[in-house]
Amino acid sequence: MPADFDTIVNLAKKRGFVFQSSEIYGGIRSAYDYGPLGAQLLRNVKDQWWRSMVQMRDDIVGIDSAVIQSPKVWVASGHLASFSDPLVECRECHNRFRLDKLEDPGQCPSCGTKDSFTEPREFNLMFRTHMGPVESDDNSVYLRPETAQGIFINFENVRRTARKRLPFGIAQVGKSFRNEITPGQFVFRTREFEQMEMEFFCHPDEADEWFKYWVDERRNWYVDLGMTEANLQFREHEQDELSHYSSGTYDVDYLFPWGWDELEGIANRTDFDLKAHSEYSGEDLTYFDPATNERFTPYVIEPAAGATRTTFAFLIDAYQEEEVRGEQRTVLKLDPRLSPVKVAVLPLSKKEDLVSTTDRVADLLRSRWMIEVDITQSIGRRYRRQDEIGTPYAVTVDFDTLDDDQVTIRDRDTMQQDRIPIENLVAYLSDRLPE
């Protein structure tokens, strides 16, 4: 059965995927810490994105730009002037809301008072801070609201040092910060989050073709990693929805428990960013094509995904409840490439000789995969726990192992069990698991 919102949140907290940040101090709104399983799941999602974008391609390279950049970057990009949301405040309860997110703009969702909102005013979403020991307007800087600008300002550095010719892309995964007015829905909308962005630079005449290409590529990425295709939709923006820099945009939406919401945007950013940074910096960010003797400002196609909300979507999509031989089972049917733990090693008892053999099996596997050794509770309960955290395979070390040097491997999805020699264990799992 599909999971509801509270079920997924409870599972995430119960199994150590996500904790409330600063929980021992009462927590801080819209900030979360990723526990052992959540940190690994998030890392796996980012690794799979990086693998598909950078490792498996000759035409894309990666960078890691600074969180704090020159304030002039945000002037050139338009963020200081236009990166804002309409804010209203209820005169009765004094709660503040984004006007464009209110279901009923005439009634406060907090206290129910009608016609109590102030006139909307624009609220800039960037976090402002200061560099140096003295706070003044002269040393104001901003935490980046997106990773993309770090790519644009390094376009010429990368092109020159990586010796790339168009078309080529620059990819980046990193933290961004937005002072959201109304964060919520657990880790979906937070003020600190991670993005997976790639800027693909091409000739203006080829931009439409590459735009279509990247829409298809991004659809394939989600589906290849096991996301239910019926839970994905690619929605093209109407003209009045487009950002000031975009000539075309698709939202990649997922059917969350509260409805369709955005995982990723794929935009044709035209030549807006490179031209803006050329103008404000005085640096030449055009491209010269020696084959045609043509100089031009490249167009940019940008697939920009939220790493944290994508991880949340994979968690929701994998959740299933099943009845097995009259008993209820909760299982995360994550693609093995995403599973936080690939193999669980389970001794049938805590007796010293079984634990010693368990250690030998664990040492054999640990250099290749993320594993977990689980000794406590009955074997049935341990199987259920591993199902619930999405572990694809469980290896049981039993008393017969001491005589025949064989172990039993259980498949998470089929629950089929195979008995094989320990010496064949790596080969068996290598056929079924990514390293």
In contact, 251 and 264? CB cutoff 8 Å = yes
Question: What are 93-122's pLDDT values in tens digits?
Answer: 877 777 777 778 888 888 888 888 887 776
pLDDT grade, residue 1 (50/70/90)?
A: very low
Let me know how long the chain is.
435
pLDDT at 182: 63
**What mean pLDDT comes out for the span 41-66?**
97
Separation between Cα atoms, residue 338 and residue 317, nearest integer Å: 12
In contact, 387 and 373? CB cutoff 8 Å = no
Among 342, 368, 350, 365, residue whose Cα is nearest residue 423: 365
pLDDT at 435: 67
Question: What are 230-258's pLDDT values in tens digits?
Answer: 999 999 888 777 777 778 899 999 999 99
In contact, 403 and 395? CB cutoff 8 Å = no
Sheet containing 68-69: order of strands = 68-69, 140-143, 127-130
Domains of the chain by range and CATH? 5-83+125-315 (3.30.930.10), 341-430 (3.40.50.800)
C-alpha pair distances (Å), 392 with each of 3, 46, 122, 319, 338: 20, 20, 49, 14, 10
pLDDT grade, residue 183 (50/70/90)?
A: low
Statement: residue 2 has pLDDT above 60: no
pLDDT at 245: 74
Please say whether the dihedral angle defined by the alpha carbons of residues 96, 101, 107 and 108, taken in this order, is positive or negative.
Answer: negative
- Residue owning tokens 């068996």: 428
Residues near 259 by beta carbon (within 8 Å), at least 6 away in sequence: none
Statement: residue 135 has pLDDT above 80: no
Q: Average per-residue pLDDT in the chain?
A: 90
Among 371, 369, 394, residue whose Cα is nearest residue 382: 394
Separation between Cα atoms, residue 357 and residue 347, nearest integer Å: 8
Separation between Cα atoms, residue 430 and residue 435, nearest integer Å: 8
Statement: residue 193 has pLDDT above 50: yes
Question: What are 371-419's pLDDT values in tens digits?
Answer: 999 998 889 899 999 999 999 999 999 999 999 999 999 999 999 999 9
Separation between Cα atoms, residue 244 and residue 277, nearest integer Å: 15
Question: What are 60-100's pLDDT values in tens digits?
Answer: 999 999 999 988 998 898 887 765 567 788 888 877 777 77
**What mean pLDDT comes out for the span 10-30?**
90
